Amino acid sequence: MTELAKESSTVNHGLISQPEFIPDQPGYYHTTVMDLSWGALISVAQKFDTVVLLDQPQSEWSHWKCFQATFKLMQKLEELDQATVFRTNKNVKKLEYWSNLVFKENKSFCIYPWINYHQKGKNLHLCSRSSIPVAAADTVQSWTTDKNYNRVRTKMLQGEQLPDHCSFCYDQYEKQGIESYRQFETMDWVAKLDLDTVDDLDKIQHPHFYEIHTGNNCNIKCRGCTPAFSAPIGREIKKFNIITPSFKETVSVSAIDKINIDTLHEKTSVYFQGGEPTIMPEVLNFLKQCIEKNKTDFFLTMATNGVKFSDNFLETISHFSNTNFSFSLDGYKRVNDYWRSGSSWNKVIDNLKLLQSQGHAISINTVPGIYNVTNLHQLFEFLDQELPFTTVYIQLNWWPWQSALNHPLKDLVIESMQKCMQTSIYHSNGKSCKSGIDSIYAHYTNDPKCNLKDLKDFFDYNDQLDRVRGTKLADYIPELELARNYIK
Ligand code: SF4
């Protein structure tokens, strides 16, 4: 940076590390995604004439994620009409190539068939969202030559869409203008694996991503969840004869013992989702086997409700050097505790900070739905204040009776989305954070009609849950109780 400043006969004034920074002298300043959050970088960048990305190879960055996140940030600044210099950099060419591929040229290509081992019952699927199998697990002898996987790979490379496998990404995300798993995960993985072009996919000899659904052992009962993911919900439905909407999923467990521990290394990833993986003996057992085999540098990531971590669990994860815990937070304080029955906001935030203090990375997973779509800004404002560097992932609730897109009080939703857009966390480099909020906002500003049958289904089901749990919606989310007037 100092050299660049000299070349322009000016000076480098040094590092910017405060989000409120205002430049007061001509010349160069520098900063990074490690020094300021994404949202802060966007707002600071807009106070400058031009933002320059230094042209350095990925190997010279402290982490592939920083390189990739900075490239995406420059793309965002470009979209906001900020003057930028980075397109001529030779080191961004490969990310430009992949970005053009997945966002513009090829609406089918996804990295998962090359890297993701996801078993549901006896079958392998492209990912946890893909509903039909690719092959029976016991027929796949070779990851690189299996004919069923290669058929999918070939079609994707040719740009032929696979709605049987991938309609979730096409319909739930891309058609709504929301960044999909296909797009987000591909961009992450090509940077992680340092792939230049699709020709480099041939170098991948074994699964690099194990997406493991560990079953429905759970310690809470979220109102948006089903017996397939939380056994206590199944027991409650049975005990109290609750009439449910039509849950389609059945319990389907991935085989942890199919993870080839010997092939794990720093560019591979194991992701546990539940249920609640942190309480599952089989997860702990797997982690202990990894410790015994001295395989602790792979990327270990888990979805968690953050309700309780045992000492045994905390001690075990302390051996792993590359972790991320994705905390589910579906609202601020009482909204979260109502939706996520059995959760306690204060305890979850304490646990989140505990893991952070022990060196683990944290992200937030939020599901916009009918419970929180009028108050989501309160969660965003909290995150802005307390956890500004956290990455927020958004997954829209797709149950029709809990949909984020079926609240009758549209002005309240619009107001909440506008407030979300004022926060820094809205710009977080998480999957679908900005695009998810933008799509909800676009939906409600387009004068949508509320589906009253789905709204009635919501109240019918939620009232039964309130009855058996001894709660009252009006005590937690009064504006949602008001929506009942539309079905009277
Ligand atoms: S396109 Fe979407 S649904 Fe298909 S494999 Fe990729 S992430 Fe899964």
pLDDT digits (tens, 9 = 90+) for 234-243: 999 999 999 9
The answer to whether the CB of 455 is under 6 A from ligand 1 is no
Question: Distance from the CA of 23 to the center of ligand 1, in angstroms?
Answer: 44
Among protein residues, the one whose CA lies closest to atom 5 of ligand 1: 126
Given a contact cutoff of 8 angstroms between Cβ atoms, the answer to whether 437 and 403 are in contact is no
**Burial per residue of 224-242, b for 16 or more beta-carbon CB atoms within 10 angstroms, e otherwise:** bbbbbbbbbbbebbeeeee
Ligand 1 atom nearest the C-alpha of 116 is 5
* CA–CA separation, 450 and 484 (whole Å): 12
Helix (H) or strand (E) holding 412: helix 410-421
Most confident listed range (30-39, 251-260, 427-436): 30-39
What pLDDT score does 283 carry? 95
CB 94 near ligand 1, within 6 Å:
no
Residues contacting 109, CB < 8 A, separation 6+: 101, 102, 156, 157, 159, 182, 186, 198
Query: How many angstroms does the Cα of residue 326 sit away from the middle of ligand 1?
Result: 20
Three-state secondary structure call for residue 209? strand
Given 3-state DSSP classes, what are the helix, strand and coil percentages for the chain, each rounded to the nearest 5? Answer: 45, 10, 40
Does the beta carbon of 184 sit less than 6 angstroms from any atom of ligand 1?
no
Q: Tell me, what's the pLDDT at 305?
A: 97
Residue 166 near ligand 1, beta carbon < 6 Å: yes
Neighbours of 463 (CB within 10 A): 12
- Span from the CA of 212 to the centroid of ligand 1 (angstroms): 15
The one-letter code for the residue type at 181 is Y
Residue 11 is predicted with a pLDDT of: 87
DSSP 138: G
The two tokens of residue 364 are: 């937030």
Say if ligand 1 is within 6 A of residue 181 CB: yes
Asked whether the predicted pLDDT for residue 2 surpasses 90, the reply is no
Does the C-beta of 127 come closer than 6 Å to ligand 1?
yes
Whether 252 shows a pLDDT value over 90: the answer reads no
Residue count (the chain):
488
Count of other CB atoms within 10 angstroms of residue 57? 10
Categorize the per-residue pLDDT at 4 as very low, low, confident or very high, splitting at 50, 70 and 90: confident
Instruction: Report the distance separating Cα 224 and Cα 240, nearest Å.
Output: 18
- The whole-number average pLDDT for the span 373-399 is 93
d(CA 384, CA 388): 5
How far CA 105 is from CA of 55, 91, 108, 178, in Å, comes to 26, 21, 9, 17
Long-range contacts at 163-167 (CB < 8 A, ≥ 24 apart): 164/131, 164/132, 165/125, 165/126, 165/130, 165/131, 165/132, 165/134, 166/108, 166/110, 166/126, 166/130, 167/131
CB of 431 shorter than 6 A to ligand 1: no
Answer whether 15's CB lies under 8 Å from 42's CB. Answer: no
Beta strands in 194-239 (DSSP E): 209-213, 221-222
* Interacting residues of 204 by C-beta distance below 8 A, sequence separation 6+: 114, 115, 144, 193
List alpha helices for 318-409, DSSP H.
334-339, 345-357, 376-386
Q: Is the CB of 461 under 6 A from ligand 1?
A: no
Least confident of 144-153, 368-377, 429-438: 429-438
pLDDT at residue 249 above 70? Answer: no
Q: What percent of the chain has pLDDT over 90?
A: 81
Amino acid at 483: A
The tokens of 10 are what?
């000016």
Higher per-residue pLDDT: 429 or 360:
360
pLDDT band of residue 204 (cuts 50, 70, 90) is very high
* pLDDT band at residue 251 using 50, 70 and 90 as cut-offs: low
* Average pLDDT of the chain, as a whole number: 93
- The yes-or-no verdict on residue 412 having pLDDT over 80 is yes
pLDDT digits (tens, 9 = 90+) for 100-127: 999 999 999 999 999 999 998 889 999 9
Mean pLDDT calculated for residue range 198-223: 94
CA distances from 429 to 147, 176, 417, 463 (A): 36, 19, 18, 37
Domain limits, the chain = 2-91, 104-203
Contact 212, 271 (CB under 8 A): yes
> With the C-alpha atoms ordered 335, 365, 171, 177, is the resulting torsion angle positive or negative?
positive
The DSSP 8-state label assigned to residue 10 in this structure reads S
Q: Whose CA is nearest to atom 6 of ligand 1?
A: 182
Give me the residues paired with residue 240 across strands: none
Q: How confident is the model at residue 398 (pLDDT cuts 50, 70, 90)?
A: confident
Shortest-distance atom of ligand 1 to CA 108: 1
User: Given pLDDT bands bounded at 50, 70 and 90, which one contains residue 250?
Assistant: low
pLDDT at 72: 92
Beta strand residue intervals within 50-206, DSSP E:
50-52, 83-85, 116-120, 123-125, 135-136
- The atom number, within ligand 1, closest to the CA of 180 reads 2
Sign of the alpha-carbon dihedral angle for 313, 314, 315, 319: positive
Ligand 1: centre distance to CA 186 (Å): 10
Atom of ligand 1 nearest to the CA of 129: 3
Q: Tell me, in angstroms, the distance from the centre of ligand 1 to residue 116's CA.
A: 10
Is residue 42 scored above 80 in pLDDT?
Answer: yes
- The reported pLDDT for the residue numbered 221 is 96
Confidence (pLDDT) at 3: 78
pLDDT > 80? residue 347: yes
Confidence check: pLDDT of 254 > 90: no
Instruction: Report helix angle 64-79 to 93-100, nearest 10.
Output: 60
CA 183 / ligand 1 centre spacing (Å) = 9
Give me the pLDDT at residue 44, please. 94
From the CB of 111, is ligand 1 less than 6 Å away? no
CA distance 299 to 64: 13
Q: What is the pLDDT of residues 67-92, one digit of tens each?
A: 999 999 999 999 999 999 999 999 99
pLDDT tops 90 at residue 143: yes
Distance, CA of 426 to CA of 72 (rounded, Å): 15
Q: Report the share of the chain in percent with pLDDT over 70.
A: 99
Position 482 confidence tier, pLDDT thresholds 50, 70, 90: very high
182 touches ligand 1 (CB under 6 Å) = yes
Candidate from 168, 186, 188, 431 with most ligand 1 atoms within 8 A of CB, to mutate? 168
Pocket of ligand 1 contains residue 130 by CB under 6 Å: yes
Structure confidence by residue, pLDDT tens digits, 268-308: 999 999 889 999 999 999 999 999 999 999 999 999 999 99
Q: Are strands 323-328 and 361-366 parallel, antiparallel or unpaired?
A: parallel
pTM of the model: 0.90
